[in-house]
Chains A and B, each alone.
Chain A
Amino acid sequence: MELTGAQILMECLEREGVDLIFGYPGGSVIDIYDELSRHPAIRHILVRHEQAAVHAADGYARALGKTGVCLVTSGPGATNAVTGIATAYSDSIPLVIFTGQVPTHLMGNDAFQEVDIIGITRPCVKHSYLVNDISKMAEIIRQAFFLARSGRPGPVLVDLPRNVITASGEFVWPEVVHMRSYHPTYKPNLVQIRRAADLVLGAVRPLILSGGGVIRSDSSAVLAHIARSFHIPVVSTLMGLGGFPGNDPLWFGMVGMHGSVAANRAIGEADVLLAVGTRFADRVTGKVSVFASRARIIHIDIDPTSIRKNVNVDVPIVADCLEAVTALKDVLATKTGGRDRGEDRAPWLERLDRIRREHPLSYIRDGSLKPQEVIEAVCSIAGGDNIVVSTEVGQHQMWTAQFFTFTRPRSFLSSGGLGTMGYGLPAAMGAQLAMPDKQVVCIAGDGSIQMNSQEFITIVSNRLPVKVVVLNNGYLGMVRQWQELFFKRNYSCTNMEAQPDFLKLAEAYGAEGYRITEPGSLIPDLTRALTSPNPAIIDVHVAREENVYPMVPAGAALDEMILV
């Protein structure tokens, strides 16, 4: 069957089960858009900026666990997508990004809207392809989807020169993907699993550190089973939030720079640390040389490069997290015959419980409207298994991580690795499209919401009931906090009092607008906004110079926390 390149692309997308793509047309992809209009099974969301297309596909992928797909034109369309691609790469999110490209005979000639997007994105993609021959197109697209979702997931870029899109060729769908040089290790080494089991069983103060890989690999239930069966406390990284229920008594909070006292102390006191699906990023470990210094560390990760990159470990296990924790669960069950370790571990759990009671996450209630209180209010009104929360990046992100109780995997969407302001709003849009029946709330700061606020119109025009809670303090709050603590309160370029009227902005876009300035109106107004069937912006004027605590200064040890 002879098809054009554009038709082959559509065929491939349909066979990969793609029913939604985010994109923005342009000269180099105009033939694809022409063909797309004849494929009603593939819904296209027309964003207002290509960066948002990638973030939206990313939010869709994080919320649903499917591969997100974007389509952008060559040149500026492709470069605008780069921040989104790098964001997804940092957090291991499966995406396939199709970029238009000038015809192959013009490539290298500085043609109109030409950039070397393969070269530009090389360090921030899992892999990339230039389709320079239509006969390879179907196979490349098949490989791109396979790569994006297998192994350690990540973004894969496919560059499509216009003459290849318009050429005709035989369409052959490769039933199997064969890649000689790509074989992720899924099965754990059983000798290592047994060593891990022995360490866990011999531990007096064991601790599970649950990372983003637990969520990506759908390991939450099995890991929770291990924790509960053997009375092992659990702490999470930022990316791991929701991977273990935040309302379970075994959960002691988030670790790292803004982690809870109990979680960070637990890392320091544990004698065995079972780290699953985490790459020990600097924001998690603090000063590496003293990280978990009393613990023997078991490290499960699918990416061999994650192991011993930052932290030396005693039992490295390269495997799919689900395969590994399932094997570990089985070996533990065999070794113990189901014996309960509750009594042995009671002192450890009691100790952590005491730290948690003595140092709960807290803030000073002085009658002003505190941002932490807003997060607690959102959680009490709309929290639970039916909510998906996205954030931008900054203080509001950390307060959300601290004060919102995430009970379900894939319910917290946040740019952890790259820390991309402008991520939250388009990600919320993607999540709402992925999960039409869930309540999707974007928690933002007044600074970061302005980085992709053009997407309000995409949200409104697609009738997505996304709610945006702006914690408005008129500052770039996280930078201001660092300036307060480490730069003698020299608030250089962080005052953002000049801002749009968010109520009018909501009105201009056709969304509902709410403004909350008094603690007394927080619950009623927020309830009204969150229960509305329409998209809404909720502008909450919070205490301006509130800080995120606890805080471990960059490069300090986890137990050197600045407290409230």
Chain B
Amino acid sequence: MRHVLSVLVDNEPGVLSRVVGLFSGRGFNIESLNVAPTLEPGVSHMTIATSGDDQIIEQIIKQLRKLVTVIKVVDYQDLAVVEREMMLVKVQADDSRRGEVLRIADIFRCKVVDVSLVDLTLEATGNDDKLSAIIGLLGKFGIKELARTGIVAMRRSMQRE
């Protein structure tokens, strides 16, 4: 089962290697990992997408909490959350294909952020399903480069009961 974890950490040197080392050393899986500063100086926020059965996820959360530099861990599994990921994708688009690529970009509300005679670079934002759908559709034109941020997520203010 896929889980998204929100992890607040002291932003000291080596904190990322402690977290990543914990996952690799104990054979836990990381699907994506995003790290960025928060409003509070010295504190960073990590969003980790991982997977495993209940017992594994419980261990991952406990092991993260055991790290001295980890301040807080929240599992978004049973919460209503907004999940977003951004992707840059450079797709082959010469004169004969450009129109079709742009139509797909339009359907998914992608932005064109770079263009040349032979390719287009699109910026897309969404959850995992949407980005996977875009990649699937653009695949037939030929994807030259792909960069994804990994998931960021936030708890919704209104939680269903």
A residues sitting closer than 8 Å to B (CB atoms) are 118-119, 122-123, 126-128, 130, 132, 147, 179-182, 303-305, 308-309
Contact = CB atoms under 8 A, between A and B. Distances in A.
Interface of B: 9-10, 13-14, 17-18, 21, 25, 55, 58-59, 62-63, 65-66, 68-72
Given A118-B14, A123-B25, A305-B66, 7 more contacts: A119-B17, A130-B14, A182-B68, A303-B66, A304-B62, A305-B62, A309-B59
A179 B69 CA distance: 9
Interface of B is mostly: helix
Nearest to A119: B17
Nearest to B20: A122
Contact of B71 (A119, A180, A308, A309): A180
A308 B55 contact: yes
**Chain A CB within 10 Å, residue with most, of B13, B25, B68, B69:** B68
Contacts of B25: 123
Contact of B63 (A128, A179, A305, A308): A305
A147 B10 CA distance: 16
Contacts of A118: 14
Nearest to A147: B68
B158 to A, nearest CB: 30
Contacts of A126: 68
Nearest to A312: B55
B9 to A, nearest CB: 8
B46 to A, nearest CB: 13
B131 to A, nearest CB: 33
Contacts of A181: 9-10, 68-72
Contact of A122 (B10, B17, B65, B66): B17
A169 to B, nearest CB: 19
Nearest to B26: A123
B10 to A, nearest CB: 6
A127 B21 CA distance: 13
B71 to A, nearest CB: 4
Contacts of A303: 66
B40 to A, nearest CB: 11
B58 A308 contact: yes
**Chain A CB within 10 Å, residue with most, of B58, B63, B66, B69:** B66
A122 B66 CA distance: 13
A142 to B, nearest CB: 14
B119 to A, nearest CB: 38
A533 to B, nearest CB: 45
Contact of B21 (A122, A130, A147, A305): A122
Nearest to A184: B66
9 contacts: A122-B21, A127-B68, A132-B13, A181-B9, A181-B10, A303-B66, A305-B62, A308-B55, A308-B59
A304 B66 contact: yes
Nearest to A123: B25
